[in-house]
Structure 1
Amino acid sequence: MKTELDIRGVICPIVTSFDDQNRVDFEGVRRVVDFLLSHQIDGLMVGGTTGEGMLLSIAERKALCEAVVEHVDGRVPVIAHTGCISTAETIELTCHARATGAIAASVIVPYFFTLDDESLYMHFTAVARAVPDFPIFLYTFPGNAKNDITPALLERLLEAAPNIIGIKSSNPSLIRLQEYIHIGGDGFQVFCGVDGLMLPALVLGARAQVSGNSNVFPEIFRELYEAFESGHLERAQALQCLINQIRSVFKDGITPAYFKAGLKLRGVPAGCTRPPMRELEPEELKAVEKGLRALELI
């Protein structure tokens, strides 16, 4: 598939706001989107891991995608996360994302069950062939999803499905990231999903950083990207160190509740998390505030 789609910079996988009745708070979602756009974010991903997408119903995921695409109104690319545990539901959400106006879909490996390369090949090719004119980004997060995309599997998928144009790797291995970049070649878009690896990933050739922490501090991630692009590597290194400290304050995003706490401290209420995700305890909230104040970020 020939595509002019070329996404670079910082992509934010936006948090999903919930009200105190555990319903999606669409006004809260729009508020977060506006905050990110005001800080020149390069793109948005909706309904992903940070967005608690696996805790949403299919109907909610569709409504969330529609709301974000409509509100963004073409100002930045919106990638819809459409991955599910089943192939049928993944195809349903991917077709919906295309119809809604998302610029591409991100499809995580099916999770929970142990799947070999052949099973994953059948899954991803079925999804890609259901929407042959729609760009697909593979998404691998072996720490959470259990399954992974091997280099050999990626090679097979790229031969079979021309509309697979990139991959988001939340694998902490830089070697694996480099393998993806090498296999994909020119035009293949590799995104790094590990914020602690943003700078080394860019050095290796990653196109963009998909950053959960950028929900709270988009400007810091944008500044790192711009410093790297302009050759100011000492500044980029300093910003990477700061990002690592932010990750520590937010416990490496182990729950989106940390990002929502950070947003609230920046004056952007982002609602609750959805059970079984729990809210932060008072002492945890105090630790977040203390940590960010120590870094002079609030």
Structure 2
Amino acid sequence: MKKLYGVTTAMITPFNQDGKVDVEAIKSHTEFLISKGVNCLYPLGTTGEMLRLSVEERKLVASTVVEAARNRVTVFIHVGAMNQEDTISLAKHAHEIGADGIGIVTPIFFSANDRELEEYFVTVSSNVPSDFPIYLYSIPQCAANDITPEVAQKIAGRCENVIGIKYSYPDFLRVGEYLRINNGNFSVLPGADRLFLSALAMGCDGVVSGVSSVYPEPFVNVYSAYIEQKLDEAREAQVIAVQYCETLKNGSNMSYFKEALKLRGINAGFMRAPQLDLTDSEIEALDQQLKRLPPVSPLNV
């Protein structure tokens, strides 16, 4: 089964000014990311404003990304939704359209105990083929629910297609515990962009990065230098990546991602209400901050 690795980009979802999904902008953004050398695409997660889209809109975005990627990179669709039925529907759709796998966030907002979490993931897993890979997705600071290593191990023990986890909380002690699941054969990727190089050194397979949706270059540089065992270059690239993370608010507000992409000449569309686009003064301030950062050219050029 395929797995996520390297620079896995959590993609934005562009909307037209009237609030509709901008299909052409999604295609252009997909092409942009592939041209910059990312390894995997991960649409419709937190960066993709997942909960602001209907099930049908999410299927449209998923189909558009898979078709635009044309098997040139690995594509995992995030399918976690507010109820189990929608999650299963999105999971089945991802398999039907030829995605390489899926990610599933924990149930959101309402508290779920360990038994409920385990049964939720097992149920969704049973509704897709056993060779269709699944990543658990834990972002407790947003979802109100966490996946302990013990629960993750139970789920992986019952579901042969649950092969890893995206963990979006900056706790490296927990990361180390996840890495020991299935005797070390459990794929782990942090969602904290600023910890990419450190995570690689611990044994993680890569990062699921929202900032790389806008500036993939420093993250691609980190991974390329790391696998070539050029640690000084990897550290240099990580320092630059962190500067871009901080300037773009570490993914706490997707309007910064979209405006930064526009400043790069990429049509990233608009935000969907209730979140608003940046004001003109905020865009100008962002532009000036980005101009003061190091350039994002490849390290080896």
TM range (shorter): over 0.9
The one of 145, 153, 178 aligned to 2:151: 153
Normalising by the residue count of structure 1, what TM-score does the alignment of the two structures yield? Answer: 0.96
Q: 1:65 aligns to what?
A: 62
The one of 249, 272, 275 aligned to 1:274: 272
Q: Secondary structure at the match of 2:180?
A: helix
Q: 2:256 aligns to what?
A: 258
Q: What runs of 5+ residues in structure 2 fail to find an aligned partner?
A: 297-301
* Equivalences for residues 60-209 of structure 1 within 5 A: 60-131=57-128, 132-209=130-207
Q: What letter corresponds to residue 59 of structure 1 in structure 2?
A: E
Superposition deviation, residue 236 in structure 1: 1.5
Superposition deviation, residue 267 in structure 1: 0.9
Distance 1:216 1:62 in 2: 23
For residues 132-166 of structure 1, give each alpha carbon's deviation from its aligned partner in whole angstroms, at most 9, with x where no partner exists: 33111100111111101001101111111111011
The one of 236, 248, 251 aligned to 2:246: 248
For residues 194-252 of structure 1, give each alpha carbon's deviation from its aligned partner in whole angstroms, at most 9, with x where no partner exists: 01111110000110111101011112101101111112212212222211111111111
- The percentage of counterpart residues that share the same residue type is 37
Q: 1:29 aligns to what?
A: 26
Q: What runs of 5+ residues in structure 1 fail to find an aligned partner?
A: none
For residues 52-74 of structure 1, give each alpha carbon's deviation from its aligned partner in whole angstroms, at most 9, with x where no partner exists: 11110000001111111111111
RMSD: 1.2
* Equivalences for residues 284-295 of structure 1 within 5 A: 284-295=282-293
Q: What letter corresponds to residue 163 of structure 1 in structure 2?
A: N
For residues 61-103 of structure 1, give each alpha carbon's deviation from its aligned partner in whole angstroms, at most 9, with x where no partner exists: 0111111111111111110100012111111110110001110
Runs of 4+ in 1 over 3 A off after TM superposition: 184-187
Distance 1:130 1:201 in 2: 32
Q: What letter corresponds to residue 195 of structure 1 in structure 2?
A: D
Q: 1:297 aligns to what?
A: 295
Q: 1:51 aligns to what?
A: 48
Distance 1:58 1:159 in 2: 30
Q: Comparing 21-30 with 183-192, which one deviates more in the overlay? A: 183-192
Q: 2:299 aligns to what?
A: none
